[in-house]
Amino acid sequence: MNIVIKFCGMMAEVKNVGFVFSLALIFLVAPIQSEGSTFPEQIHIAATEDPTSVIVTWITFASTPDSTVLWRLHGSAIKLQPVSGYSTNFNDGKVKRFVHRVKLSDLKPSTKYDYQCGSSANWSSLYTMRTLGSGPDYSPVFLVYGDFGYDNAQSMSRIRAEVNAGGIDAILHVGDLAYDIFEDDGRKGDNFMNMIQSVATQIPYMTLPGNHEYYQNFSDYRNRFSMPGGHESIFYSFDVGKAHIIMFSTEVYLFIEFGVKQIGIQYEWLEQDLKKATTPEALAERPWIIAMAHHPMYCSTVSFGDCNRRASIIRAGTLVAHSDPLEKLFYKYGVDMFVSGHKHIYERMWPLYDYQVLNGSYDAPYTNPKGIVHLITGSAGCRERHDTYNEQPDWLAFVNGDYGFTKMTVHNGTHVSFKQISDDQDGKIVDSFTVIKEKPGYY
Ligand SMILES: [Fe+2]
């Protein structure tokens, strides 16, 4: 079992529980959050729609005179340059938090920058980030996972090792974070954000909402993250390498107590975004359309949910609002992949539409696939433990129940590969496949 502790502002994660308790006898294990403090914590960066800028976000528990990032080119001897931002605040139960955001612009692609954030009241340590790349030869590598919480954060050490090794461009967390982000007046969310700070200060940590963020209409989630697009981090898209990545909310279909209007708003946005991303010019530049959300359209798990239903709301739509089926929309615009979580398992499907397997060929099923390739990667580690699976239906290609996460590489305009890395098996790659599209465009 992993345990995360904080001592003197430093996060430490150890797998040996006995060691933790020994340590606790020597040092007082301090609470993660620092209520009333102006010290910056929970620092993370996000990509924007523009590859030359990033947003730095952090939290304090008291207001500060300003919200500032000091930055310079990594390793440069020049004085750190200030950039100002703004702060907002939100209350979660008894705790008041101040969220600070600063946008850094005119950055160079694939370049490291040193930075620290805070205000004249208190400054953070110095961190180093790397921007996303650009250009025709850029092959971004992502870690993709969902269902990763503060308790039982099984994959944290391995994720950190991957990021520290320098080969990862961004993390895509497809919902369910912290478990639950609002618990204990949001302190669970604070603990989680401090836990991921060691990676989220280095590369963009991109998120979308899952069902565990539902509290008060996803208020903690909306307040804590700074995803692009102007929709409070609920849905957005960004271009990276040869891929157009769409991050959206399946939760709008399931938490209709917060209003069905948002289903239609997101649907309209999705269709407009897909239209723009699939013009011949756009596809020539970025042939891959990769959509991600929290709930799957298909799953084989024993625990029952929307994805087990033939008439899944996420896949086949709902009558309560303007909402044509998402699968139909994605198929119409030739979405290549749909990556989700929610089920605490890894499942890879054959190219599908309406439960029909539409392989490109039986010898090489992911070469010019004629349908959407679905992937569930929800096993990074959460307190609800693993899901188990039923006998494999014919549309399911592979299933693995280990804790772990996915590494996705957009090699170029014709190849995207996926590797499933098992934490249970010491980093062993338990699944690997490449989707090949010999020419851009629809199936
Ligand atoms: Fe979930």
Task: List, as own/partner pairs, every contact residues 8-16 make where C-beta atoms lie below 8 angstroms and the sequence separation is at least 24, other chains included.
Answer: 9/39, 9/41, 11/194, 11/195, 11/197, 11/198, 13/153, 13/156, 13/157, 13/160, 13/195, 15/157
Cα 252 to ligand 1 centroid, rounded to whole Å: 13
**pLDDT at residue number 322:** 64
Phi, psi of 399 (to 5 degrees): -140, 145
Residues in Cβ contact with 77 at an 8 Å cutoff, skipping those fewer than 6 apart: none
Cα 351 to ligand 1 centroid, rounded to whole Å: 23
Cα 71 to ligand 1 centroid, rounded to whole Å: 37
Cα 242 to ligand 1 centroid, rounded to whole Å: 29
Distance CA 157, CA 148 (A): 12
Cα 214 to ligand 1 centroid, rounded to whole Å: 10
**pLDDT at residue number 303:** 85
What is 141-436's CATH number? 3.60.21.10
Residues in Cβ contact with 350 at an 8 Å cutoff, skipping those fewer than 6 apart: 357, 358, 359, 365, 371, 373, 395, 396, 397
Cα 69 to ligand 1 centroid, rounded to whole Å: 34
**pLDDT at residue number 28:** 35
Distance CA 138, CA 412 (A): 8
Cα 209 to ligand 1 centroid, rounded to whole Å: 9
Distance CA 218, CA 72 (A): 35
Per-residue pLDDT of the chain (443 residues; tens, 9 = 90+): 334 333 333 333 333 433 343 333 333 333 445 778 999 999 999 999 998 999 999 999 999 999 999 999 999 999 999 999 999 999 888 899 999 999 999 999 999 999 999 999 999 999 999 999 999 899 999 999 999 999 999 999 999 999 999 999 999 999 999 999 999 999 999 999 999 999 999 999 999 999 999 999 999 999 999 999 999 999 999 999 999 999 999 999 999 999 999 999 999 999 999 999 999 999 999 999 999 999 999 999 988 899 999 999 999 988 776 678 999 999 999 999 999 999 999 999 999 999 999 998 888 999 999 999 999 999 999 999 889 888 789 999 999 999 999 999 999 999 999 999 999 999 999 999 999 999 887 77
Cβ neighbourhood burial of 26 (10 Å; 0-12, 13-18, 19+)? exposed
The partner residues of 338 in beta bridges, in order of sequence, read: 291, 374
Tokens of 186: 């949001």
**pLDDT at residue number 54:** 98
Cα 343 to ligand 1 centroid, rounded to whole Å: 7
Residue ranges of domains in the chain: 1-30, 41-130, 141-436
Cα 250 to ligand 1 centroid, rounded to whole Å: 10
What is the CATH topology of the domain spanning 41-130?
Immunoglobulin-like (2.60.40)
Cα 342 to ligand 1 centroid, rounded to whole Å: 4
